[in-house]
Amino acid sequence: MSVHIIDNIPFKNSLLKHFAFHDIKTQILSLITTKIPEIQKLKLNHELTEIVCNLIENLSGDDDKTKKQELAVEIIQTIFSLTPDEVVVIKQQVEYTYDNNLIYKIPILKKYWGYIKSWITKRFL
């Protein structure tokens, strides 16, 4: 059986959501681990938790706040090896971030402008 067959079969419903969240998780992990130096010093930092939550909000099209919170905790757990007590702290930080509207949703026009600008830069410069 060829692996190329799966490229032609579209994902639907729960499989599509699972794939989308896994893709978001991979993107955020690579972004954070490459862009933030000495990340291990920021283990329980609330600003890092807030950045992860903002990235999830702006990369995800899903409106389910609970799934986004679980994904944020999962991403931070993947970056750091957390004890059960630290997981509770991270869950509280994520919940606090969502409950107090500390999430900034980037407007669609600004996103499209960023895509166009990066495409022009790659294409012509």
* Residue ranges of domains in the chain: 15-124
What are the contacts of 102-105 at 24+ separation with CB within 8 A? 102/50, 102/53, 103/53, 103/54, 103/57, 104/54, 104/57, 105/57, 105/58
Look up the pTM and report it.
0.77
Angle between helices 13-35 and 65-79 (to 10 degrees): 40
Q: What is the pLDDT along the chain (125 residues), one digit of tens a residue?
A: 445 556 677 777 777 777 788 888 999 999 998 998 888 899 999 999 999 999 999 888 777 888 899 999 999 999 998 999 999 999 999 999 999 989 888 887 887 788 888 888 888 87
Instruction: Evaluate whether 103 touches 97 at the Cβ level (below 8 Å).
Output: yes
Give the pLDDT confidence score for residue 1 in this predicted structure: 43
Query: To 5 degrees, how large is the angle CA 16–CA 19–CA 27?
Result: 135
Give the pLDDT confidence score for residue 4 in this predicted structure: 56
